[in-house]
A and B are shown apart, each in its own frame.
Chain A
Amino acid sequence: MSQTNLGTYSPNTWCPGCGNFAILNGIKTVLNELKDTACPLENFVIVTGIGCHAKIVDYLNVNSFYSIHGRALPVAEGIKIAKPALKVICFAGDGDAYGEGLEHLVFAAKRNIDITVIIHNNRSYSLTAFQYSPTSFVGFKGRSTPRGSIEAPLNPLELMLASRATFLARGTSHGLPLLMHLFKEAIMHKGFALVDVLQVCVTYNNLYEYYAKRVYELQNHDANDFMMALTRIREWDYNSDASIALGVFYRKEAATFEEKFAPPQITPQERDIRIKQLLRESI
């Protein structure tokens, strides 16, 4: 494997110990591997929303579209539909993809468009200086909910399963080998793939110890079995105290959205002829 330095000259401004470093290092290794085995580096495009997660585009010397808050998905979809040969990877935060841009996430899954979504799920809004997020615990005392959040969190994997996603996985920022495996599987999956990464925010929501006590890798699990996937996904609802499974929950082969768009190519001359023809028919 040839090691390309995928970094840039941009100074890294994540807090020391941030879980995002694991995601950055993991994806670098995976891209380095895939560029030799599966897909040339120039065929990768990274799309992000806005938040701490999104700084990853500045740290990767790869094609990218730094989009706006909640809006990584539709940009990624446009790119993929235009050029299906590209490998499009979205990085998004929990506030970003599960909050502001939730509609896009649901519809991208529904379409089974062949893109990969990696969620930096730190379960709090951090770049905006600490508020509760769609996956925060009930009672989360952020600065917009000083007496504790009164909403139960979403179970994003359950929502994504209901939305017809065809690859669903969960990892943590403290399990790099598994995380890299999940990234690779997700990227190579043909269809809509989402990896929910329980990424620890050391400054505002340090759940390192909490996760360390509860996570386990899925064993004897058939990811092709929808009902089994649903059961395992429901084991932990992102709120109550339960074991937290990591690994691939669900995997299904299905037709993808972008492959339905293959309009016949026409030249500008043919186009002009057809315009004239259509006008003649309108007389």
Chain B
Amino acid sequence: MEDFSVLIGGKAGFGIDKATLILGHLLNQSGYRIYIYHDYPSLIRGGHTFSIIRAAQIRIGANRDKIDLLLALNRETIDLHQTRLNDGALVIYDSDAVKELVLPRQIRTLALSIGKIVKEENAHEVMRNTCMIGAFAKAVGIKMEVLERVITENFPKEVELNVKIAKRGFATAETVKNISPPAAEPLPLISGSQAIGLGLIKGGMRDYVAYPMTPTTPLLHFLAEQANDFSLKVIHPESEIGVMLMALGFAYAGERAAVGTSGGGFCLMTEGLSLSGMSEVPVVIVLGQRPGPSTGLPTYSGQTDLHFALNAGQGEFVRFVVAPGDLEEAYYWSAQALNLAWKYQIPALVLTDKNLNEGIGNFDIRSVGEIQETAAYLWDGKAPYKRYKDGESGVSSLAFAPTKDAVIKVSSYEHDEFGITTEETAVTKKMQDKRLRKEKYMREELKGFRTVNTYGDDDRSTALLCWGSNKGVCKELVQKLGLKVVQPVVLSPFPEDAFREAVRGVKKLIAVENNATGQLARLIRNYGFCADGMILKYDGRPFALDELETRVKEAIR
């Protein structure tokens, strides 16, 4: 098959996460390109959680509306997702949990006594998902040895029992839909959080500080797991206020630090953000968006904080804001955010969302641009050291305690070149000019980066305007419809020239955003550009390919 989707669902506590990843690996190792969306409520046990694993022969970054295989460990999964079934779809279910199932004639079913098998093996009920995976493999024609290898690689505990149960699922099922795999070389299958984490590591991060908050919690978990291997200090302090200030302490001492949060936590970080701007102590903030206001939908996705990220913190200061659109961009820009933060001694924000952070897909490091860790601009040792020495670019040289003959003073107050508090009019103006001047040089440097991406047919006069995780769905759709996509990646300083170039010849620009007001459309208006239409979705769920197709067709009719 060219392109198909598998949905697995059940209660939280059924091990859907793990099963999802294994299903993804099974299809990945069969040569498909994968995209996984995980949907879960804000609770620990119960509720309904599901994942959609989409497999295709081309790189993908979005889901379809319809599904071709439904794996149901309980009745609810079938009831909730029945309407998504494509004609000819296959439903595999645990007949010990789902009784008297009636489905339309065109839907095929495979009823397996999964509960009984697990009981017979004296295994924990959670292993029903392993049995389901075995049945799935057989049903779609995946070879036993691939199944065994993937199960073995993915279960740190009770490998033998899991393999045994998977094999029993395999033996019980029959091949219904042979997916006849393509022969593409498998690529790593990672989440957005992993891509961001590895990017930060690549950018020289030494410390990661965070307070748990969806959707950046998985980044905290990933880095905490990797701390020893990558020589990181990963700390979870008392609050996001503590997080931000602690990170600034790390940076003052000379270590590259990053923090991660979502909107609510970022609210608490804003006084520290402003302190970073004034004190010129760099920090990288990974801001994972979700629908607000306030607690909103904690485990769902949104693009609601663009203007918050651009404007947070009192006073006027230079910041770098970037919104990566896929795994490779997440890796690349997380590293570059650290480089730019340290080069210009500013705060840098990596603006993501739940769909990007928790979405899983193929990652191809070969298509990521070259990343060199830029060395910080260090003091040459010529006394007296002045932490805020004014110069052409506004960037002063750094020294870190302990350095003999250097007294390193940073401050939240307006200060002179040495770092001593001032209220003098001339010094105040001079120092504010110094700090703001850095933007001009950063803007110039950014001309060498791909700050605005375009995809699709460059000659078309209709273009979709998107940012962040909507890149995947827009890019795939325009290939089908023969349109163009314009995706600004850097949002501050806004790459005005590159954007103008990207929309040259576009007569109709349609903003596609996961918010209720069109935040990117509002941003480009500041630079004299106008979105002619807006396709907005703000229910926390991502645009599915087919859904967006319908809405784009309506918009361009």
Contacts and interface: CB of A to CB of B under 8 A. Distances in A.
A209 interface: no
Interface in A32-47: 40, 42-43, 45, 47
Interface string B355-373: 0000000010100000001
B242 A74 contact: yes
B446 interface: no
A178 interface: no
B245 A64 contact: no
A221 interface: no
Contact of A271 (B230, B246, B249, B407): B230
Given A65-B249, A86-B402, A9 B230 contact: no
A80 to B, nearest CB: 8
Given A68-B412, A104-B238, A282 B230 contact: no
Contacts of B206: 82
Interface string A265-283: 1101001101110111011
B252 A81 contact: no
A10 B241 CA distance: 30
B275 interface: yes
A66 B275 CA distance: 10
Interface string A250-271: 0000000000010111101001
- Interface range, B side: 35 or more
B420 interface: yes
Contacts of A45: 252, 401
Nearest to B401: A63
Interface residues of A, number: 54
A217 interface: no
Interface string B219-257: 000000011111111010111011111111111111101
B503 interface: no
Contact of B407 (A43, A63, A280): A63
B239 to A, nearest CB: 6
B413 A107 contact: no
Contacts of A58: 420-421
Contact of A268 (B29, B279, B373): B373
A79 B412 contact: no
B198 interface: yes
Interface in B362-419: 363, 365, 373, 400-413, 415, 418-419
A29 interface: no
A42 B253 contact: no
B247 to A, nearest CB: 6
B410 A77 contact: no
Contact of B238 (A42, A103, A263, A272): A103
A152 interface: no
Interface of B: 28-29, 186-190, 194, 198, 201-202, 204, 206-207, 209, 226-233, 235, 237-239, 241-255, 257, 271-272, 275, 279, 363, 365, 373, 400-413, 415, 418-421
22 contacts: A8-B420, A42-B403, A57-B411, A62-B407, A63-B407, A64-B409, A66-B412, A67-B248, A67-B275, A68-B275, A71-B245, A78-B250, A79-B401, A81-B249, A82-B249, A86-B253, A107-B238, A268-B204, A271-B201, A275-B202, A279-B198, A283-B186
Interface of A: 8-10, 40, 42-43, 45, 47, 50, 55, 57-58, 61-68, 71, 73-83, 85-86, 103-104, 106-107, 261, 263-266, 268, 271-272, 274-276, 278-280, 282-283
Given A10-B421, A75-B249, A81-B249, 14 more contacts: A47-B249, A55-B421, A61-B407, A63-B409, A64-B408, A65-B249, A76-B249, A78-B209, A78-B257, A79-B252, A85-B402, A104-B241, A275-B202, A283-B189
